Amino acid sequence: MTYPPHPGPAFHGQYSGGSAPHNVGQYPAAGPPGAYGSFAPPPPPPPPPSGGKAGVWAGVGIAVVALVTFVITAFVAPGFLVGDDSESERATEAHTTVQRTAQDLGYSIKDALKAGQSNAVTPLLCPDATESLMTFAEGLRQPQPHFSGYAREDGGTATVDIRLFGDAVGRPDINGEVTAIADLEKQSSGWCWRDLQHSVGYLDELRGVLNSGDVAALHSMQCPTSAVGAFSDPFAEAVALANHWTIQNPDYASSTMPGADFVSVGGTLEIGIHSLGGDFCIQSATLR
């Protein structure tokens, strides 16, 4: 008895029962990029930015220069780290304290006028300061000449010899310094600046008295140490000579004796003044 042949097991690469199907034993063909079962190649890396390293080094260089500049500035001028007040601001702060002595006030006036700012002077004024002093303080706009600030005290008052420019006393036509006197007073809150005299104002006042013909008033303006009138009276002679006098050749800031020539059609009265005892007075007078 014959048996039909028994089919054997199918091996890889064969198909039992007939011809092998197409592509059996082969990998499927690659599909389009990105299809399932396939691997798309990675995108190319982006190109490096143009000049990237140069930009980095430029930034580093700027930072280094800034750091070096900061260090040098801090070493040369360390005050900039904490701020630096202007001279006028420092003067103002120093003067807001109570002036315990006349000499304290004298030095404060010196510093305030050196600063040349109104806000440095006004804290020193008395509540009842004269109008002329208040006008001076409010109009101060520039530093004034140097002076010692020494105060001559006499009980509850004192004076300080100071020097000013013509602009400060309302006379921009004066090209030079002007001798002046600061009158101080001790009040309940301490020492303060109450009045201001200057040679410009005094000579103008003297001219007014001379033109008024008041000989007695002229005599009252003499210094106690003046020898005027010892042998003759130039004031009486001048009043008798004319009633209109003008100021010529003024010397407002002489270190020895400021003065001026008072001129009329009939002659010239040469007058020298002094700040003896804290007030201006006539020290000499000669009629020519």
Which amino acid type is present at position 218? L
pLDDT for the residue numbered 231: 85
87-197 against 200-287: fold identical:
yes
Pick the CATH number of 200-287 from 3.30.1460, 3.30.1380, 3.30.70, 3.10.450: 3.10.450
pLDDT for the residue numbered 72: 56
Instruction: Write down the domain spans for the chain.
Output: 87-197, 200-287
CATH number of 87-197: 3.10.450
pLDDT for the residue numbered 12: 42
d(CA 177, CA 158): 23
Q: In what order do the strands lie in the sheet with 190-198?
A: 151-154, 157-165, 177-187, 190-198
Give me the residues of the chain with pLDDT under 50, please: 1-4, 6-39, 56, 71, 75-96
